[in-house]
Amino acid sequence: MPSVAADATPKPRSPWRSLRRWCVQLAGTLKFRVLLVAVMSALLSGVASSYFMAYESERVILRSFSSQQRDEVELAAEMLGSKIARVQASLGLMASSISPELLERPSALERQLHSHPFMLQMFSAVQVVKIDGTVRARAARSVQLLEGVDFTREAYFQRTVTMGVNGVSDPSVSDPVSEPMVVMTVPIRDLGGRIFAVMVGVLPLQSSDLLPTAASTLGPFSAALIVYTRSGVVLAHPDAQRRLQPVDDEPGLGPVVAAWRARGANAIDASGAHDLPRYLVATAHVSAADWYVARVTSTDYALQPLRQVHTESWLVVVGIMALCALLSTLLISNITRPITQLRDRAQRLLGAEHDPSAGWPRARGEIGELVQVFRHVTMERGRAQAAQNAMVEQLKAILKNASVGIVITRDRHFELVGSQANQLFGYADGELQGLDTSVIYVSPQAYVDTGERFRVSLKMLGYFDGEVVLRRKDGSQLLVHMRGRGVNDSDPTAGVIWILTDVTAARAVQDQLSWTASHDSLTQLANRLDFEARLASAIAHAIHPQERGEVCAMFIDLDRFKPINDTAGHAAGDEVLRQIARLLESRVRQSDTVARMGGDEFAILLPGCSLERAQTIAEQVRIGVEAWRMLWRTHTFSLSASIGVVQLSADLPDVAAVLEAADSACYDAKRSGRNRVVTYGASSPVVVLRA
């Protein structure tokens, strides 16, 4: 029995069997499978990547390095070409101001060169050379700079003369201590396009207007950047001692240049990337000159970081990938759960109706901070939308109720137009929205001219303020006072806001008042005030020492006018004055001035008229008045005129003197029997022309 009892007692479990069972159970779980996949993926990707990098990375790095290096030299060549083009454009601007006539006046031409001080800041010297080689004018910082230098025999000069293209020389040094110089040539053409001279500019090779101040580095690789000419002269080099030396001696670049010359290739063939056993070389042609830009990089330098990584990468890559796989497996479920919840909540933001503060997941760390940011952004979005809606409503109210026209334009189109502005131009609300702003201008040229005025005013004052003639929808014109400035001074694309006021009626009233102040309302002639102002101007012109234009004036007094008033009344007298005014206007030129001085007295100002001609005109006026007749009811009226003529001279220095002389001559005409012309003279004050 005891033996049976002993057999019934359970045996303790083996630790190894328990561990085995736990492992089997773990292997069947999803977490283990994710972990196994993550670890195997990390290990395999790490080994495969390291293996591939060992065999392929050097080729990829060199290819990428070569491609980037080529892009860098092309960019450098383009920048250098742009600099040369700007310098040539500056030289061409001066050349465009020189005419064939100016070329024949050396002193005036030299003053013209010195009138452009910015050119001598850019160039060490400039000169104008005729196509036969004759130097017509020059300007230089130093008088010795151009002495003994003859550019006319150089190939670039001859190309400019014969082909009309801009020329750029190779650098030259006049003596061992002088700075290398580059010569540029630009053709000077007449109005027919014929080349009659050449503008020559000389500037230092190392000028900041030509070459960069340091052509040694460009980009992140700090490799040598070299500029050289087609003839093989180094212009720019990190080592100053290599400048103006043969490019054939340059490591890596010399063989490339030699091979290019051996092929007899053109400038385009000389550009590109060249992979040599020990160097990566990239070259590019400078379009504005026969120059080239090259970058030379040692392959050892390019691959140095990569080779260092190769020696350390194997164990590091395997360890990091395994650790990342393990950590990603353990944390993926906890990480993805709040992210998924956040995604779902963010998608609901697109709905029109949502509570900004509800439905957000609970999380810590970066996910929790991201949740807080989303929540804050959502609430701020709601507040901003409400504020924007209120602002839009306020803006609509302003545009609708403002007493002046308010317009906002952008990119030459109407963006917002107030009700008053729509009424101003005869459009319905919303009809101008989106239209081109040219629709309100009277012509395309007016549109262009006003745009130019706005740009100039905006540049100088920061705003535009002026009057412009515009067009309504029905084609009628109106005068508008426009005041405009940028919506945002720091952003020109934000548009322009305009305040528009119709000043058509106000201007008409102003013009009418101005006309009324200077004209006689009965006869529509100039009044005494306007005549005296014109006479004062004529006196100043007539007695000016440099001006000898002859000016005459005449004073006309109607004879027997008072009986007409007494017999037929003032209405008849007024009609007589109106008809006599028209008669006087018909006897003179449009450039002459006919004025009513008061009562039955008239005056005529004759600029550019000799005394003899003035006497003839006065006689014609006298005859015309004498022949005039007017039938008024049962009466027929006639008149005659006593006329005094005076020639303006230094003896009559002011208006009062001229009027007194003319009136004196007119008085003498009346005293001598009326109906005659009397001329006032310095030696004989009274001259009767005809009775």
Using DSSP bridges, classify how beta strands 593-598 and 601-607 pair: parallel, antiparallel or unpaired: antiparallel
pLDDT bin (cut points 50, 70, 90) of residue 689 is: very low
d(Cα 76, Cα 88) in Å, to the nearest integer?
A: 18
Residue 691 has pLDDT above 50, yes or no: no
- Percent of the chain clearing pLDDT 70 (strictly above): 74
How high is the pLDDT of residue 593?
92
Residue with token string 């990566």: 280
How high is the pLDDT of residue 353?
57
Show Cβ contacts of residue 666 under 8 Å, excluding neighbours closer than 6 positions. Answer: 555, 556, 557, 642, 643, 644, 678
Residue 333 has pLDDT above 70, yes or no: no
pLDDT bin (cut points 50, 70, 90) of residue 9 is: low
Whether 160 and 231 have beta carbons less than 8 Å apart is answered as: no
pLDDT bin (cut points 50, 70, 90) of residue 688 is: very low
What is the arithmetic mean of pLDDT over 641-648? 93
Residue 504 has pLDDT above 70, yes or no: yes
Residue with token string 């109906």: 675
Give the pTM. 0.39
How many C-beta neighbours within 10 Å does residue 262 have? 8
d(Cα 8, Cα 549) in Å, to the nearest integer?
A: 152
Edge-to-edge strand list for the sheet holding 125-130: 135-140, 125-130, 195-204, 181-189, 167-168
pLDDT in tens, 579-611: 999 999 999 999 899 999 888 899 999 998 999
pLDDT in tens, 433-471: 888 888 889 888 988 888 888 888 888 888 888 888 888
Is there a shared CATH topology between the 76-318 domain and the 519-690 domain? Answer: no
d(Cα 277, Cα 299) in Å, to the nearest integer?
A: 8
Written out in words, the top-level CATH class of the domain with range 402-509 is alpha beta
Look at residues 479, 409, 471, 473 and name the one whose alpha carbon lies nearest to residue 443: 471
How high is the pLDDT of residue 483?
87
> What is the fold of 519-690?
Alpha-Beta Plaits (3.30.70)
Q: What secondary structure letter does DSSP report for 486?
A: E
H or E stretch covering 554: strand 551-559
Quote the tokens at residue 501: 């006021």
CA within 13 Å, CB half, 98:
35
Residue 213 has pLDDT above 70, yes or no: no
Asked which of 4-18, 133-147, 260-274 is least confident by mean pLDDT, the reply is 4-18
pLDDT in tens, 81-121: 888 888 888 888 888 888 888 888 888 888 888 887 777 77
How high is the pLDDT of residue 192?
86
H or E stretch covering 183: strand 181-189
Look at residues 163, 169, 142 and name the one whose alpha carbon lies nearest to residue 87: 169
**Who wins on pLDDT, 386 or 202?**
202
Quote the tokens at residue 20: 């085995």
Asked which of 173-177, 368-372, 631-635 is least confident by mean pLDDT, the reply is 173-177
Q: Which amino acid is at 302?
A: A
Domain locations in the chain as residue ranges: 76-318, 402-509, 519-690
How high is the pLDDT of residue 623?
94
3-state SS class at 545: coil
Edge-to-edge strand list for the sheet holding 291-298: 234-236, 224-229, 291-298, 279-286, 272-275
What is the arithmetic mean of pLDDT over 422-426? 84
d(Cα 241, Cα 575) in Å, to the nearest integer?
A: 101
3-state SS class at 351: coil
Domain 76-318, what architecture? 2-Layer Sandwich (3.30)
